[in-house]
Structure 1
Amino acid sequence: MTYIEWSTHEPKEGQYVWDGIANLEQFIQIAQEEDLYVILRPGPYICAERDMGGFPYWLLTKYPDVKLRTYDLDYLREVEKWYGVLMPRIQNHLYKRGGPVIMVSIENEYGSFSACDGRYLSFLRNLTESYIQNEAVLFTNDGPDQLPCGRIPGVLATLDFGSVGNPDSYWQKLRKYQAKGPLVNAEFYPGWLTHWMEPLAQVATGPVVSQLRRMLQQGANVNFYMFHGGTNFAFTAGANDGGPGRFNTDITSYDYDAPLDEAGDPTSKYFAIRNTILEFLPDPGVSVPSKLPKMNLPPVKMNRLGSLLSEQARQILAKYSLSSRRPLGFEALNQHSGLILYETQIPKALHHSDPLTIRVDTLHDRAYVHVDNKFVGILSRETATYSMPIRLESGTAKLQLVVENQGRINYNIANDKKGILGAVTLNGTELLNWSMTGFPLENYSQLENYIDQFSGLEETTGSVKIFHGEFNITTDNIYDTYFDPRGWGKGVVFINGFNLGRYWPLAGPQITLYVARHILIQGKNTIVVIEYQKEVMQGTLINFRDQAILNGP
């Protein structure tokens, strides 16, 4: 089973990507070469703990009030356009045309979505059907209690559930709506997702294999989600709305406590599942995967190259700089990811108040607060910290907020826009006339230019510092490794121009970031770290380990 992520293939409106990690057709062909069937999940909403559930951010730029996953005409028009590009690439791989694609989903767990819009589901069924034309099975998937709003007449309904509960009762609920047809658990969960600042989610092997055995005894069809762990590289990790005042961001690793871990190595859970399947099916004679070697690397000395707040960094790394009476958000500024620097002058009438209380209404998601380039504290949606006292030095004039997008909500989509979306006040006085400087951190060549041109003369006491290091790999045998940021705070890291994703060892539980061997090269390798909040000294070391640490600190 594979999700098709709209935002991966159309990151900017009308600009399509089908190569590299986005080469969908090659992926399907490889599956066929390996005698595997393929279940495609084109969404257009996929969840998967990905930023905005796989939707491209620019939908919110183009249509600020769009109602995603409903019979909203603007949304439907964009889905039609997207499917018009995507579906012709799928058609030749459908089962009845000799391809491996046996099933294609319509939406994803729609029964859990509050809209419960039957017209939308009918539209999406008809649109998908116009391309698939009975050459593969169309299906929906929902939790056992979410079938009333998730099922679609004439489409195979499937369930998703994990190792908890009795599958007999789940199938009975399915049969109330679907009297006949196969019993399918389209997402059987052998593990679970993890948020920052939470314990690592782990699911015991015993209940997983017991539940699997029960389903196989019932003649049910079972698809694991996830069977192979993964990684939310770059800024692709999403977030969840945990209820009023609660915002939970997903860690970079998507190891998921899966049978095959993030690096593809078999776990004890894998062997237990394999043995259980062999109770029902003959051994196919496929070799059991073995754990691949991992490597340590010598410590890398990191050189500090100034702050993102510096004039030099702004000139080279900023995508734009503009002004507005009130702050504008990421989507209004057509920015997907990274950081926005918001700046305004502090009114002279407030200079003699001590202390001042800054408050940011509707902050999405995290603000690194500065006064005249001096880092003074953090406001955070995750901890519901929207105000703090600040002190002004003599002659203070400027307030600066570096706002981080930590990932858009991916479940029960609610147009999770980013940036400062409300008023900013000091002692109750609204601050106006803002300048905004955007740092999407998407263009690595800009970072290379900054490193090459860094004068070493300009330094600030601000946060968001840029570090650069180099290391050599002399061996021909390059293996996976793990970036270890212990001693650092929170930020993002690039190796050879590839964005590994967000690190945050101060919060945990994830400490290390997975570095696939394909990212590394023989000879000189480069590493760039953008540290958002901690004061890290010049010459601080970065380490690479041969083991993952996902359950820290």
Structure 2
Amino acid sequence: YICAERDMGGFPSWLLYKYPGILLRTNDNNYLREVRSWYAALFSRLTRFMYGQGGPIILVQVENEYGSYFACDHKYLNWLRDETARYVKSDAVLFTNNGPGLETCGAIEGVLSALDFGPGTEDEINGYWTGLRKTQPKGPLVNAEYYPGWLTHWQEAHMAHTDTKLVADSLAFMLRNKVNVNIYMFFGGTNYGFTAGANSAGSGGYVADITSYDYDAPLSECGDPTEKYYTLRDTILQYFPRPNVSLPLPTPKMKIDCVGLFTVGSLLDPVYREKLTAINVTSNRPLTFEALNQASGLVLYETLIPDDIRTDPYKLTVEGIHDRGYVFVDKQFIGVLSRENLVSSMPIGLDKGRTLSIMVENQGRINFGIANDFKGIVGKVYINMQEILNWTMYGIPLDESRLLKLSVLDHRKQVGQNRTIRYDQGDRVQPMAVFHGIFDVHNELADTYLDAHEFGKGVVFINGVNIGRYWPLVGPQKTLYVSRHILKPKDNYLILIEYQKQLENGQCMYFTDAPIFN
């Protein structure tokens, strides 16, 4: 478990479908068995890199911020300490890490306790160490996660920002007092694909992390040095000798003009959807992603509205949508259900039709405090007061391998032969449409940013790489970072799946040379 704003805190989601009742980060036998198996594989690759073997690894962490976890299972912590020590021996120092004042459940006997915190006043920082010394009277002081910035969620007003002077002043104070400091993040990068996590906060108890992990770190999302980098470098040089290395230079950036996006299919069209469907299951009640052995992407839930529903409009209610449900009746978009915004019901006119489809998006599993974050429809579905049964579920993981099978030639063939997905340029296209575009890079390859500000919500793939989720309707992130290493001089292949907004067939996608975050 690493937290790190990663989906499920770094745990693989298959733990939830292999063991639906598993108690992660506890003395649960199933969990311990999987940790034991993982450690055997992991440490077989790591032990030769330990400091005692002449390698660079000086510290090995046992659990992470466990003092913030509800379980407070010391039997588990002691087991994990011993299991880790079995491989590390005396070749590196075992440590654990918690927020200030959370040592009661987070400290582990015989393991160095570190803290994590961001900039503060000198009195605040001294208070943190005074509190630690009550449970750890001696040993080095370590800030294992010194925060120069912070994470950002979708629907927040702007990207998180931490004042550079405050960061530098607190760092200088700790270095003067011989504190060991690890800057988290020094370089954040990008949560490509579906790797971004979420937090249990807000009115709905859920807020999803954006794709960018820029973090307001000393190095930007693309790896460029920032003003904060140079300031912290000068601060560190007051206490350590100057290394004989050159300063990093910003990487070149480029713009790319209009890339026309053309509709090649709809996830609501059975013929097209079949190509992207990993599983097709019927059940009396809706099943979760995990019950379908699916980690990420989308699951389509379909049923027929009973003939005895005669009220107009009727009220659709879903008890537990994890995380976002796009509602269609007879393939016409009706509206959105949202865990984050506590939207669990909506009125629907009887004239809309009889086939009810709810496309559920996994926006990222909670990575801090709560571990078992199941996805999909996790409760019952009602129309008025009547429970709706007899569902068919289509698992659409949106994995790169299936999307790559939909080659450009296959797309062109479908557009020519299948009238249900054929559009003229400029036609408005219903949500859940799949678009593709092909573009060349006429100059030298460079980093760039896909500008999604005219789009709604969805996901983008370039040359088979999932570059992440976009959601400019709410922001604050409006662009997606595209590394030059993903691109090639000719025939770059872009696939975009738009969940929510009606787009024009042939609409342009632009790439810009700087991020748009606010």
Aligned-residue offset at 1:243: 5.7
Partner of 2:344: 386
User: Does the 8 A contact of 1:260 with 1:266 survive in 2?
Assistant: yes
What residue is the counterpart of 1:264 in the other structure? Answer: 223
- Alignment partner, residue 273 of structure 1: 232
Task: State how far apart, in whole Å, the 1-side matches of 2:40 and 2:214 are.
Answer: 33
Instruction: Please list the CA deviations of residues 261-280 of structure 1 after superposition, one character each: whole Å capped at 9, or x if unmatched.
Output: 00010110111101111111
**Equivalent residue number for residue 323 of structure 1:** 282
Q: Is the 8 A contact 1:53 1:413 kept in 2?
A: no
Q: Tell me which residue corresponds to 1:10.
A: none
Which runs of 5 or more structure 2 residues have no equivalent in the other structure? 423-428
Distance 1:326 1:354, change over 3 A: same
Matches within 5 A, 1:107-186: 107-165=63-121, 166-186=124-144
Query: In the alignment, what sits opposite 1:51?
Result: 7
The question of whether the paired residues in 2 share the 8 Å contact of 1:246 and 1:383 is answered with no
Contact conserved, 1:158 with 1:184, CA < 8 A, in 2?
Answer: yes
Partner of 2:426: none
Equivalent of residue 487 in structure 1, options 423, 448, 454: 454
Q: Report the CA distance between 1:283 and its aligned residue.
A: 1.0
Q: 1:526 aligned to 483, 493, 504, which one?
A: 493
2:350 partner SS: coil
Distance in 2 of aligned mates of 1:196 and 1:495: 22
Q: Which residue of 2 aligns with 1:106?
A: 62
CA positional deviation for 1:447: 3.5
Report Cα offsets for 1:348-367 as digits up to 9, x if no partner: 010x3100110000110100
Q: Who is 1:543 aligned against?
A: 510
Show the counterpart of 1:471: 439
The answer on 1:365 being equivalent to 2:327 is no
Q: Is the 8 A contact 2:66 2:106 kept in 1?
A: yes
Choose from 246, 249, 261 the match for 1:290: 249
Secondary structure of 2:223 counterpart: coil
What secondary structure sits across from 2:249 in the alignment?
Answer: coil
Q: Which residue of 2 aligns with 1:441?
A: 398
- 2:358 pairs with 1:401: yes
4+ runs deviating over 4 angstroms: none
CA positional deviation for 1:98: 1.0
Corresponding letter in the other structure for 2:320: T
Secondary structure in 2 aligned to 1:377? strand
1:373 Cα deviation after fit: 0.8
- Rounded to whole Å, the distance in 2 between the matches of 1:205 and 1:474 is 38
**Counterpart in 2 of 1:501?**
468
| SS of aligned partner of 1:171 | helix
Which structure 2 residues correspond to residues 57-96 of structure 1 after superposition, within 5 A?
57-96=13-52
TM-score by length of 2: 0.95
Amino acid in structure 2 at the alignment position of 1:177: T
Contact 1:481 1:545 in 2 (8 A): yes
Write the mapping of 1:13-32 to structure 2, written as runs, cut at 5 A: none
Aligned counterparts of 1:380 and 1:358: Cα–Cα separation in 2: 13
What whole-Å deviation, never above 9, does each CA across 1:139-172 have from its counterpart, x for those lacking one?
0011111111111111111111101242211111
* Partner SS for 1:169: helix
Select the residue among 255, 269, 274 that pairs with 1:310. 269
Q: Which digits, 9 at most, give the CA deviation of each residue in 1:244-286, with x for residues without a partner? A: 6331000000000000000010110111101111111121122
Corresponding residue of 2:291: 332
Deviation (angstroms), 1:314 = 2.1
Contact 1:367–1:402, Cα closer than 8 Å, also in 2: yes
Amino acid at match of 2:395: G
CA distance in 2, matches of 1:487, 1:273: 37
| Segment drifting more, 502-511 vs 452-461 | 452-461
| Equivalent position SS for 2:38 | helix
> Is 1:249–1:407's contact at 8 Å kept on the other side of the alignment?
yes
The amino acid of 1:104's aligned partner reads: V
Rounded to whole Å, the distance in 1 between the matches of 2:341 and 2:31 is 33
How many Å separate the matches in 2 of 1:414 and 1:52? 6
TM-superposition CA deviations, 1:420-442 (whole Å, max 9, x none): 01110001110000000110001
Give CA-to-partner distance per residue, 1:479-534, whole Å, 9 cap, x none.
10000012110000000110000000001000000000100011111100000010
Q: How many percent of aligned residue pairs carry the same amino acid?
A: 53
CA contact (8 A) 1:356 1:390 kept: yes
**Displacement of 1:456 after TM fit?**
4.4
| Aligned equivalent of 1:204, options 160, 163, 176 | 163
Distance in 1, matches of 2:335 and 2:407, equals 29
| Counterpart for residue 419 of structure 2 | 457
Greater relative contact order (Cα < 8 A, sep 6+): 2
Distance 1:448 1:359 in 2: 39
Would the aligned equivalents of 1:339 and 1:439 in 2 still touch at CA under 8 Å? yes
Three-state SS of the structure 2 residue aligned to 1:317 is coil
CA displacement at 1:462 relative to structure 2: 4.6
Q: Using the alignment, how far apart are the partners of 1:134 and 1:163 within structure 2?
A: 33
AA partner of residue 92 (structure 1): R
For structure 1, the 5+ residue unaligned runs are 1-44
Code of the residue aligned with 1:190 in structure 2: it is: P
Question: What is the aligned counterpart of 2:384 among 409, 427, 439?
Answer: 427
1:412 deviates by 0.8
Matched, 1:216 2:178: no
Match of 2:425 in 1: none
1:376-400 CA deviation, whole Å, 9 max, x = no partner? 1100001110000011227x22111
For 1:399, give the aligned amino acid. L
**In 1: Cα distance, 2:105 partner to 2:274 partner:** 51
Match of 2:97, SS?
strand
Deviation at 1:536, TM superposition (A): 0.2
Mapped partners of 2:90, 2:276: distance in 1: 50
What SS does the corresponding residue of 2:115 show, helix, strand or coil? strand
